[in-house]
Amino acid sequence: MRISPLSSRLLRRAATAALAASVLAPFAGHVAPAMAAGESHPIVFPVDGPVRYTDDFGAPRVGHPHMGNDLMGTKLEREVAASDGVISWVQDGSSGNGGVMLKLQGDDGWWYYYIHINNDTPGTDDGANPAQWRFAPGIQAGSRVSAGQFIAYMGDSGDAETTAPHLHFEVHRPDGTAIDPYWSLQAARHLTVTGRTVAVNPLGGYYVLTSDGTVHSIGGATNYGYPSFGSGGAGRAMAVMPDGKGYAVVDSLGGMHLYGSAVAALGNIITTPYLGVDIVRAIAITPSGKGYGVLDGFGRTFMAGDAPSGPTARWMGWDIARSLAFTATGKGAYVLDGFGGVHTSGDAFVTPNYSYWLNWDIARTIVAAPTGDGYAVLDGFGGIHIRGTAVNPTVGGSWVGFDRWAGMAYAGNGHYLMVDKLGGSARF
């Protein structure tokens, strides 16, 4: 993550522009008896993305000093938990000085305030305050979170409507004293993971895989374990067993990591070669749970168990294959290339009318129709392209105008789940 303090000239401009962006006082009755500068407390940096900020703690505001630092970024950047702890309070209305905001109480007793959270529909400044674009899925008062976990979207709610999007971030000692966050931010640990894929558990909930190998369980999905790759980014893809009691994670070099029921079902049929280079792109498990396929970036498919033969498309030396899916019968397969080309085998649905973006690597995931013939393709901008009997999304996709989305899964009842490159998920 790149963080660049403003020059002194820009600092003066930022302080003036942020005059109306301050919060009159700490919220929820948590009164700060004093302010302390020069002190550092260990945290995870609260924004997973590029920001700029200065030491504007204590700067004059209307009737009070500035109680935090303003981290200037872009709308809908991910704000993450600075510490393990509990979301102790949220305000989901966008009126008032602070607008949409929340308070995190760390397990160490410290408090962290997140103010001016997003209140706009993506691509607008409409102030409509859509619920799915305020907080991360499942985040509410009482939610337990881990340091670095996505909790909210950056925005400009409250009296920040006339300023650039930013996070007003405060750090308070257990006794309520607000300390200067600048020194904690300078020493903070930064996230290095990216979102890879999302997978639905048929028993309820879903999973998000991030590049460090972590399988994040959301909505009550049982976590059966996961590999740990650190910041190297080797976590590549995952697939859930049809019984919902296990899953497989494949790393970028071809290593297979099995958990729960996947151990017994797939452990004796692993044939995927260890490729030794970062070229594996996708994994799929057959509807029976007795086979799987792995796709590499050259278009090669490595099938095992009762998996059908894969498409014959190959692009040796050219990393352009992106996604693999089996048909509902398990007798055919789809391979998606980055330009949107769909390549088929067996009983996979064939159509000449797929979306195609020649020489533009923007297609991300293909999802086979749960019944009948067809599929849905996700592009990086959030467009969902339906063919055949695939289900149209109930509330549309999330076209954001830039290459943000990394993966998609069908959640049933006309809803799709999408994960972005920062590991945040959304339901459509």
Please write the tens of the pLDDT for every residue from 394-403.
765 555 566 7
User: Domains of the chain (ranges plus CATH)?
Assistant: 8-187 (2.70.70.10), 195-427 (2.130.10.10)
* Chain centre to alpha carbon of residue 253: 23
Confidence at residue 1, expressed as pLDDT on a 0 to 100 scale = 28
User: 310: Cβ–Cβ under 8 A, 6 or more apart, which residues?
Assistant: 293, 295, 300, 301, 303, 324, 333, 335, 345
pLDDT tier at 70, thresholds 50, 70, 90 = very high
pLDDT of 383 strictly over 50: yes
| Per-position DSSP letters for 193-243, written without gaps between them | --EEEEEE-TTS-EEEEETTS-EEEETTPPP------GGG--EEEEEE-TT
Residue 428 has pLDDT above 60, yes or no: no
Closest CA to 10 of 73, 61, 52, 65: 52
Residue 336 has pLDDT above 50, yes or no: yes
d(CA 98, CA 159): 7
Mean pLDDT of 351-360: 71
* Between 229 and 356, the higher pLDDT residue: 229
Go through 382-400 and write b for each residue having 16 or more CB atoms within 10 A of its CB, e for each that does not.
bbbbbbbebbebeeebbeb
* Six-digit token string for 142: 């009482």
**Least confident window among 108-117, 189-198, 276-285, 375-384:** 189-198
Does the pLDDT of residue 126 top 90, yes or no?
yes
Share of the chain above pLDDT 90, in %: 52
Cβ-contact 211, 281 below 8 angstroms:
no
Dihedral, 274, 367, 428, 1 alpha carbons, nearest 10: 30
Question: Phi and psi at residue 414, in whole multiples of 5°?
Answer: 80, 10
The structure's pTM equals 0.61
For residues 412 and 244, the answer to whether their CB atoms sit within 8 Å is no
Strand partners, 247: 240, 259
Q: If you average pLDDT over every residue of the chain, what do you get?
A: 84
pLDDT for 19-31, tens place per residue? 333 333 334 333 3
168 and 68 in contact (C-beta within 8 Å)?
Answer: yes
Q: What average pLDDT does range 58-76 have in this prediction?
A: 88
**Cα 428 from chain centre:** 15
Sign, CA dihedral 186-49-66-99, equals: negative
Q: Does the pLDDT of residue 197 top 60, yes or no? A: yes
